[in-house]
Structure 1
Amino acid sequence: MNAGCCGTRSPGPEDEAVIVDIVTAVAPPQGGFIEVSLRDHEPVRLDEARILTTAHLSFLQTSRDYKTAVYLEIDPATRVIDEVLAPYDSPVLSVNEQADRAEVLLVYSAAYHFLLRSHPDYARMISDLRSSVEHGNNLLITESRDEHFIIDVRDPLPERN
């Protein structure tokens, strides 16, 4: 179920190993882990021993400061973060379906983004992307780290005080 690089999975909409949320706090390291509090989910943890922890920590702190959504892949049993990605929060400008993929242009991105037909949630995601073209609504669109393969599409997170 791999979308491409970096161990990034291809989640379904109810995948318990995927969280899209707002970071509310990042605790100091304790016992080799850094606890990350989330607005709408139970806390998750960064493992200090992992090579990308410094980069992930920096990104999570910036996300907290700006109150922007983060896409997290976690181990559900340990709640340790495996991957951190930044969803685009944008309306969709166009969707052009090809034989093996859909080419997607976003209002707030100059790049082409690709939704592979082999993605297990292709039908739902392509429907959401087309609806955004028609209605102009923003979506949270997450893609793999390097290839611009779309791995997650969902409505923006609701505003909270």
Structure 2
Amino acid sequence: MSGIQTQAKGGSEPTTDALYKAMRKIRDTGFAEPSVVFMTPATWEPVRLMKTADGIYIWGHPSMPGPATVWGVPVVETTAAPANAALVGDYANFSELAVRRGIDVQVSNSHSDYFIRGKLALRADLRVALIHYRPLAFCEVTGL
């Protein structure tokens, strides 16, 4: 995404501190309220597994129900997020998933031996664009 803010994680700085600084930038400069943090599972894992010196999980016991959050903002684990980074932003108010072309579904049995075996191949595609109306309402946290 072009035009969004960036926040680099300092050398010994905890990931949670860098995420909070990004959220503050969004509030101060973007005049927005962060609604989602996108991270890869590998990037979120060290945060989720943080423990006190006594071995108690800081982010709650593994059997604790509920969504993952950091500083009250939901964390979405996705492999679509950049590696070793996080995307924080006000996706609720300043982004839109615009459908460029409706869903196209195709069904065929003409692949290999699908006709003989009674199998069907399904193909579906959708063209969309993710629009960010206020780039300063988003921030990439790097160096995680």
Q: TM-score, normalised by structure 2?
A: 0.28
Q: Which has the higher contact order (CA 8 A, sep 6+)?
A: 2
Q: Who wins on radius of gyration, i.e. which is larger?
A: 2
